Structure 1
Amino acid sequence: HLRHKHRTRHSKNTRRHREVQTDYISIHERPGFINQRQCIGDWKIDTVIGRTGHSILLTVVDRLSRLTLIKKVVQKDSQEINKGLVALLGAIPKEFVHSITPDHGTEFLHLDEISERLGVTVYWP
């Protein structure tokens, strides 16, 4: 009885991802200067998937300067995302990388390795 063949409907309030397994620091506990975008070095990360699903881009955006770093990754899993983050944020001087804010995608569930390796704080929305 659906208008579109072979497509199922999902209710609007269901979440298909797993909960964060790392030390959960809420976005509400972020310091005020990060929320007001007063300092360079606080990054928002996300993934963009192509229409066919074969091309996946990892985007890293600085919240103050809007500097955008983009890297193509092979798969949308946590190991490939972590490699991409190390490649992108590892090339930037340490004083310009303070915190990371991901969304609730399953590819970001193992960011504890990144926080240890790069020395950043991860805030979850």
Structure 2
Amino acid sequence: MKRTQDKINSHPRLKIFIYRSLLKGTSPELMAGQIKVLYPNDPIMSISYESIYKHIYRFRQSTLGKKLIKLLPYHHHKRRDKRKYGIKKNRIKDQVSIDDRPKYIEERLEAGHLEGDLMIGVAHKSAIGTIVDRKTRFLIIVKINNRKSKTVTHEFAKLLNKQPQYLRKTMTYDNGIEMANHKWLSKKTGMDIYFAHPYSSWERGTNENTNGLIRRFLPKGTDFNNISMEELKNIENNLNNRPRKVLGFKTPNQMRSEEINKMNHTKA
């Protein structure tokens, strides 16, 4: 098959799976993961989430394209090409690109590889931090008083350092200027920090999907300054104890406990 061909349009069975999943509100990242589990030895039923996004946005101005974009859990009508915008001058010094992140992290074979972000409140005057493990989907919600880099990284460090070292190996973040203090955070926690490409939220799909779940409790327009730490902890506990299809209907807490038991067994 030529590289320019669209695999989804070329294979009706794959196309039906993708479109039905979109109608259920499934994100492209979760689709790609489900396909791997359901069709492990079928080369036709094999696709990356980036290819799914490219298919959806390929004809964004068409009637079908607009309908597909609206079905995405997070949709932007003008999805920017990371290659075009990647040449922009970075606002964050000494950042390490996701391109340099070890490839095995993409496979979710071990816990401790995290994704981080800020969720912004009403009028951009408040925010909370979110940190999610790529394998276990274990969530940490961080209460912050302001979006200054030192404030954000200090609050992140405080909660991350409560986790065992083997559950805080790396973190992939977006290009928010609040992570300008990343070298200090890396030194304080012992974690390697990588940055996704600009306008490429799908590269942190686990975090984006989790933020969507949090929005069910704290919809857009929420002033996070009025949300107590107790309320945030209740949301965190709710989501960490919710069974997930992508985890074989286990909860993030169960997955995390398995990782801890595995590590304790190895040490013994």
TM-score normalised by the chain length of structure 1: 0.80
Distance 1:121 1:55, change over 3 A: same
* Of 96, 112, 116, the match for 2:183: 112
State percent identity of aligned pairs: 25
Aligned mates of 1:78, 1:120 — CA distance in 2: 17
| Superposition CA RMSD, Å | 2.3
Deviation digits for residues 24-71 of structure 1, max 9, x if unmatched? 322112112201111100111100111143431010011111111001
Q: In structure 1, give the amino acid aligned to 2:92.
A: V
Match of 2:174 in 1: 103
TM-score normalised by the chain length of structure 2: 0.39
Match of 1:21 in 2: 93
| Runs ≥4 residues deviating over 3 A | 11-18
Indicate the structure whose relative CO is greater, using CA pairs within 8 Å and at least 6 residues apart.
1
Q: Please tell me whether the aligned partners of residues 114 and 172 of structure 2 are also in contact (alpha carbons under 8 angstroms).
A: yes
Aligned residues: 114
Q: Please tell me whether the aligned partners of residues 154 and 185 of structure 2 are also in contact (alpha carbons under 8 angstroms).
A: no
List runs of 5+ in structure 1 lacking aligned partners: 1-10
Aligned mates of 1:119, 1:93 — CA distance in 2: 11
Hey, which of these two has a bigger chunk of strand by percent? 1
1:30 has 2:101 as partner: yes
Aligned mates of 1:18, 1:29 — CA distance in 2: 16
List runs of 5+ in structure 2 lacking aligned partners: 1-77, 197-268
